[in-house]
Amino acid sequence: MSQPLIEFQGVEKRFGDTVIFKDFNFSVEDGEIVSIIGPSGSGKSTLLRILMTLEGIEGGVVNVAGEPLWHKRTANGLVPADNKHLHRMRHHLGMVFQHFNLFPHMSVKRNITEAPMRVQGKTKAEAEAIADELLELVGMSDKADMYPNELSGGQKQRVGIARALAMQPSILLLDEITSALDPELVDEVLDVIRNLAKKHSFTMLLVTHEMYFAREISDRVCFFDQGAIVEEGEPEQIFTAPKETRTQAFLNAYMSQ
């Protein structure tokens, strides 16, 4: 079996005195779509944020594509990564945020072309060709010249997805991307992800509260509680026959809502 694309080995993460992860182990295969569910405060988002290098770790190693993310290999073993290393590693990853975090002073198109131009050194024409393609993919071609405050939440999030894809990441991190949306706008965003999952061979890691969606799209579902994976398995098994009582309790509480 090949090496996993993402691998957490004995990771420790604290916020002050609050321990989020302790000796945390987790891995994702290349091309796998993994949903993470669980109560808030269980460390779901922190997991994605560590991968996106928005949060550091206090112990252990995180490997991405066979290389340590937060460390650099040297003759004397692993040392904490410098900015250059993090910059290089970030090319593997793209992230879509719960609150979109679009750049409000930029047009939709500029939101998407900014990073390809600045980071990958693409010309304006090249970047705009990519943007046009992605806007079509997310069904936003007609909104290219609008500004984020002129868009609905669902439209904003579709731009957020296009923006992340413009950097051609091999791993897409989706952090509760529908949690800030009105219920009637959730589906237009999930449809985009469904399409992506079908057409492309992304590795996707999603933190979500949309249980039906997680069940439909995932290869594997992980139930998190208090910084640990309580139970993981195929979606059918997790949602129809959870083994752990904590998983059962969580899902029952969810379904009865």
Name the site residues for other proteins (rule: CB under 8 A).
Answer: 52-54, 87, 90-91, 93-95, 97, 99-107, 109-110, 114-115, 118-119, 145, 147, 149, 163-164, 167
**Closer CB to other proteins, residue 26 or residue 97?**
97
CA gap 73, 81 in Å, rounded:
9
Buried b (16+ CB within 10 A) or exposed e, 207-235: bbebbebbbebbbbbbbbbebbbbbbbeb
**Closer CB to other proteins, residue 108 or residue 238?**
108
Shortest CB 145 distance to other proteins, Å: 7
Shortest CB 54 distance to other proteins, Å: 5
**Do 131 and 112 meet the contact criterion of CB atoms below 8 Å apart?**
yes
**Closer CB to other proteins, residue 29 or residue 114?**
114
Shortest CB 97 distance to other proteins, Å: 6
**Do 190 and 176 meet the contact criterion of CB atoms below 8 Å apart?**
no
Inter-axis angle of helices 153-165 and 124-137, nearest 10? 130
Shortest CB 92 distance to other proteins, Å: 10
CA gap 106, 219 in Å, rounded:
36
Q: For tokens 């057409």, name the residue.
A: 199
**Closer CB to other proteins, residue 115 or residue 229?**
115
DSSP 221-249: EEEEETTEEEEEE-HHHHHHS--SHHHHH
**Closer CB to other proteins, residue 130 or residue 230?**
130
Shortest CB 103 distance to other proteins, Å: 6
